[in-house]
Chain A
């Protein structure tokens, strides 16, 4: 019953946010284009033959970075910035007195944005294959479905991490500066700039204990067909969600007690 209601609310939110996102389709296309860091990294790796040191072929490396691009497109999160602005401008006040946690709005906003992004990401992939025809491959259905699940779990982890940071707005007005601290490890340890396999063994063992490699590296390896521990990766993603969700709930509950409804 509860799930039915949440689903109905979420579906309506999603529909409304999708209509809203379509108003910004040009902006979203530009955002999609701006996410091509993995292609630059691919260029650096292949031009310097860096892939030889980690025993990955050129083709597999280019597939990895294409998948990293895709995973990034569907897991990018900016809730901390939206919430910070809404909180400082007092826009969050009307949402707080509605019987739905305001984070559902941001969640739907992200999902709607991902749906809007999808065709643009496909176009970019199409051009990628034109320039790299040898990288073209069709993943099997099972792997594709697992990759979609894994990318969604990656999105959930990032959404929860940023939501926790966003809740710090209740204590410090500039929570986004804390998020910037997290941006560095996310960039280097998530697999966006380099596959995690390229790190020294002792560093890798530590990295795999953090949530970062499960954000890009694991889903990208899974989708591209690189060797990866599927059950281990998915379990770690679920474990991180189970750890982060109660933390978010706690911080949210404590934070709303501190809310001063500034700007309203």
Chain B
């Protein structure tokens, strides 16, 4: 049986935030009497993650996804509740725990800006107590997986965003962590770089059985990497489960574009019992429930003069977009 590697119980986090009214009056008032209020950004959440799982955290900006990741990796202290990651309390930041994890933030870098990435790799290797031989071996292996070579010897400031991100990944993975926390790792990358990064993460997960917690606003990252998603809405979990179940629940119908041989035939189809989305001349789009698609198509093909038809899934971004604004999903 696969063990839970992350166990979160009734976790909450509050931040003290000061507020200021606009204008000079507000500024003076703020100077003499600063008003702060405590805002609960994570509200009593609980979940477990199994070893080797890839879990996507979905939510709108400010929903609390990154705060959850920061608490899981021990960067910030929780206000209430308990977190156990790989048997450790993350916020204590014990050496053995830190050697087991890594955090990659798409918009932040740890590489030394003016030096080639290779210098940062050897530095990280020594921080994680790897000897030079082992470090060399791992750099070779990871650079092959990430398909970077010459870039290792070029100052970071001269690398493209994609090359830099690959180097960041290599620096963050040199100690071969068991748990990866990735906060928007593909942010700002072009389509090819995004695809390569996803391929690499899949391969890394397969080869090392590492657990990956991922946040991303690119749905392709989520759909191609994560079987399970945790949706966060205003600091609370609105859905925790399989991604395909969520998609089925959110979009139970498929759209079918049917090209009829004549406009009359299309009108005939429009007046039948199917749910019509729209009709333009002899082209008609209808919606069919996913579980009755075969029988419905059989009926259409037998009773109408059809030239061609296309079955379309609703765009994933549109479907997931619904999750980001809804509080609760019972599936």
Is the CB–CB distance between B123 and A13 below 8 Å? yes
Does residue A97 face the partner (Cβ distance < 8 Å to B)? yes
Known: A12-B126, A93-B108, A94-B103. A19 touches B76 (CB 8 A): no
Known: A16-B122, A90-B108, A259-B75. A96 touches B114 (CB 8 A): no
Q: Report A1-50 residues with CB < 8 Å from chain B CB.
A: 5, 8-9, 12-13, 16, 19-20, 23-24
Does residue A53 face the partner (Cβ distance < 8 Å to B)? no
Is the CB–CB distance between B73 and A97 below 8 Å? yes
| B residues in contact with A97, CB < 8 Å | 73-75, 93, 98, 101-103
Does residue B307 face the partner (Cβ distance < 8 Å to A)? no
Is the CB–CB distance between B103 and A260 below 8 Å? no
Known: A99-B128, A100-B127. A94 touches B74 (CB 8 A): no
| B residues in contact with A226, CB < 8 Å | none
Is the CB–CB distance between B99 and A99 below 8 Å? yes
| A residues in contact with B255, CB < 8 Å | none
Compute how far the CA of A100 lies from the CA of B98 in the bound complex, rounded to whole angstroms: 10
| A residues in contact with B103, CB < 8 Å | 93-94, 97
Does residue A261 face the partner (Cβ distance < 8 Å to B)? yes
Is the CB–CB distance between A261 and B74 below 8 Å? no
Does residue A201 face the partner (Cβ distance < 8 Å to B)? no
Does residue B112 face the partner (Cβ distance < 8 Å to A)? yes
| B residues in contact with A24, CB < 8 Å | 114
Does residue B70 face the partner (Cβ distance < 8 Å to A)? yes
Does residue B15 face the partner (Cβ distance < 8 Å to A)? yes
Most buried by B among A19, A20, A97, A258: A97
Is the CB–CB distance between A20 and B112 below 8 Å? yes
Compute how far the CA of A93 lies from the CA of B103 in the bound complex, rounded to whole angstroms: 9
Is the CB–CB distance between B114 and A23 below 8 Å? yes
Does residue A205 face the partner (Cβ distance < 8 Å to B)? no
Is the CB–CB distance between B93 and A19 below 8 Å? no
| A residues in contact with B91, CB < 8 Å | 257
Is the CB–CB distance between A20 and B114 below 8 Å? yes
| A residues in contact with B288, CB < 8 Å | none
| B residues in contact with A93, CB < 8 Å | 70, 75, 103, 105, 108
| A residues in contact with B129, CB < 8 Å | 5, 99
| B residues in contact with A99, CB < 8 Å | 95, 98-99, 127-129
Does residue B119 face the partner (Cβ distance < 8 Å to A)? yes
Q: State which of B76, B102, B127 has its C-beta within 8 Å of the C-beta of A260.
A: B76
Binding site for A on B (CB under 8 A): 15, 70, 73-77, 91, 93, 95, 98-99, 101-103, 105, 107-110, 112, 114-115, 119-120, 122-124, 126-129, 172
Seed contacts A98-B124, A99-B99; 11 additional CB < 8 Å A-B pairs = A12-B127, A23-B114, A23-B115, A94-B109, A99-B95, A99-B128, A99-B129, A257-B91, A258-B77, A259-B75, A259-B77
